[in-house]
């Protein structure tokens, strides 16, 4: 008997803008498929620019990062469609993985905490600190490292709402002893099947190295943050114990968990 391919829906939140995220996600899916000897078929849905959303027959759903404000879109058609879809996925118990912008909208919708603009934008390969044991963190250190590229953050967790929906905060951003500000939430388990992260676990080191070495990208980083920031990014990209470990394990851990359950 022939086993049908695993159906994976990818919700594209990049609004038609050029990005590396989808390419990296496809790379992870291809490697995971070969390593597990599982045939997969992925389908992309362009939510923000074409108002496309997957139906409920897919086995696994991955929703990407993207540009812009997770607050200003609250009453737009695509945002309303997306939050209704989130509710349906929760009710059906579907495996869903939310990245960055998708995560921010989910946190806003489920009232996990306060979604706000950071005092300054965040970019770099930075430490993430797990708060609890979860199979999502298998084969990762504490802290592990991941790409952050964000203007917004989730703080001030709504403990009452989190408890009511059965969610759990899984990780916080880097420890900053000299900065008297609350650390942002970096990962949430919304349900047993729905996870979301503020960072980019799909980021692949070689792809990022080429991107950050582009003259325009380097100039942008140096102009906004200084040469030390760019040098720190490149140092982490050349360290196999930082981003490579996250890329090789984080989303594959979610996929493993999704098919096991």
C-alpha torsion sign, points 101, 103, 38, 4: negative
Range 234-252 average pLDDT: 94
Q: Place 1 in a pLDDT band, splitting at 50, 70 and 90.
A: low
The pLDDT-based confidence of 132 (bands split at 50, 70, 90) is very high
Burial 161-187 (b: 16+ CB within 10 A, else e): ebeeeebbbbbbbbeeeeeeeeebbbb
Beta-carbon contacts of 13 under 8 Å, excluding residues fewer than 6 positions away, are 47, 48, 63, 64, 65, 66, 101, 102
Residue 121 pLDDT level (bands cut at 50, 70, 90): confident
**What's 35's domain CATH number?**
3.40.50.880
Domain count, the chain: 1
Domain extent, residue 86, equals 6-117+153-203+246-260
In a domain, 88, yes or no: yes
What local confidence, expressed as pLDDT, does residue 162 receive? 97
pLDDT tens-digit series, residues 151-190: 999 999 999 999 999 999 999 998 877 777 789 999 999 9
Largest CA distance in the chain: 61
In a domain, 135, yes or no: no
DSSP result, 36-65:
HT--EEEEEEEHHHH-----TT-SEEEE--
* 182 inside domain: yes
Q: Closest Cα partner for 145 from 220, 203, 231?
A: 203
Q: Does residue 216 fall inside a structural domain?
A: no
């Amino acid at each position: 008997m022939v086993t049908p391919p695993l159906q994976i829906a990818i919700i594209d939140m990049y609004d038609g803008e050029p990005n590396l995220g989808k390419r990296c996600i496809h790379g992870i899916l291809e490697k995971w498929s070969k390593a597990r000897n599982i045939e997969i078929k992925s389908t992309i849905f362009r939510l923000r620019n074409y108002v496309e959303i997957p139906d409920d027959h897919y086995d696994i759903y991955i929703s990407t990062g993207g540009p812009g404000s997770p607050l200003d879109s609250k009453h737009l058609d695509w945002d309303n469609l997306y939050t209704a879809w989130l509710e349906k996925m929760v009710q059906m118990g579907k495996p869903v993985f939310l990245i960055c912008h998708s995560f921010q909208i989910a946190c806003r919708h489920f009232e996990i905490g306060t979604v706000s603009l950071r005092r300054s934008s965040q970019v770099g390969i930075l430490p993430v600190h797990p708060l609890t044991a979860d199979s999502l963190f298998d084969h990762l250190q504490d802290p592990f490292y991941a790409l952050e590229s964000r203007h917004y953050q989730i703080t001030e967790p709504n403990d009452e709402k989190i408890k009511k929906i059965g969610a759990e905060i899984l990780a916080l951003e880097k420890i900053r002893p000299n900065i008297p500000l609350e650390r942002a939430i970096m990962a949430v388990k919304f349900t047993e099947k729905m996870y979301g992260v503020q960072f980019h676990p799909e980021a692949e080191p070689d792809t990022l190295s080429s991107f950050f070495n582009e003259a325009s990208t380097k100039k942008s980083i140096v102009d906004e943050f200084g040469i030390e920031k760019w040098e720190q990014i490149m140092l982490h990209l050349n360290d196999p114990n930082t981003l490579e470990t996250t890329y090789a394990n984080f989303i594959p851990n979610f996929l493993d968990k999704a098919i096991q359950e």
